[in-house]
Amino acid sequence: MKILLVEDDADMSKALARALDKRGFQITTCADGASAFRQIREETNDLVILDLNIPSLDGLHILQRTRAMSIGVPIIVLTARGAVGDRVAGLNAGADDYLAKPFDLEELEARIHAQLRRKGNGEESMQKCGKLRFERSSGAFYNGEEPLEFTPREQALLKALIARPGHAVNRERLLQVVFPDDANVQVEAIEVVIHRLRKKLMATQTEIMTLRGVGYLLRPQTARQT
């Protein structure tokens, strides 16, 4: 099992990585938020252990952006922020579990296994809408059994929509998902990506519906009168 450990305390990171490695986990370490978010976006890890007090990008911000992009990797927050309010904030931001420092290594290992079991048993490996199918394990989209090709921005937007078919996603959230590293892009840029996607989805029996003043939603294509 691949675990991304996000911890800026070098001694803590080294000791924890060594301990988890001895327990059979494959550990990748990261010391800052920006690098961590890039690795999370690659979706190559089975679980993330995340400190909140990290440089360049706060842990809560990472949680919010990760869940906004519909990335479902289990995230265990491991932090010195142990107050009830901090726990609530972390869980509301998208953490699957929250463990305050100092902690017991056996408890952390038990929580890791609990999250991995939950991921294996409870998380849908496939999302569908009409004939459009998204396989979470591979990150690939299909029209029935035929693979579909999308640009990275098209794929990011479509993943956000297919995560909740029939439910609107506002343009501001989609903007963050599709253009996460561009603070100057205008919200109208989403319309360009939507326009391209609509053309590519014509054969999938799905459609992207515009809800003015609300956002966009993905739904099975409705039958048209002839």
pLDDT tens by residue, 30-46: 999 999 999 998 877 89
Phi, psi of 41 (to 5 degrees): -65, -25
Tell me, what's the pLDDT at 164? 78
- In tens, the pLDDT along 194-205 reads 999 999 999 999
d(CA 184, CA 173): 15
Q: Where in the chain is the domain with CATH 3.40.50.2300?
A: 2-122
Q: How sure is the predictor about 186, in pLDDT bands with cuts at 50, 70 and 90? A: confident
Rg of the chain, C-alpha, whole Å: 19
For the domain made up of 2-122, give the CATH fold: Rossmann fold (3.40.50)
**Whose CA is closest to 7, among 26, 30, 35?**
30
Q: What is the dihedral of CA 62, 66, 67, 72, to 10 degrees?
A: -130
Backbone angles phi, psi at 37, to 5 degrees: -65, -40
Structure tokens at 225: 């009168």
Please state the pTM of the whole predicted model.
0.57
Q: Are 66 and 94 in contact (CB under 8 A)?
A: yes
Specify the range with the lowest mean pLDDT, choosing from 5-14, 78-87, 122-131, 201-210.
122-131
User: CATH code for 126-220?
Assistant: 1.10.10.10
Q: Are 69 and 156 in contact (CB under 8 A)?
A: yes
> Where along the chain do the CATH 1.10.10.10 domains lie?
126-220
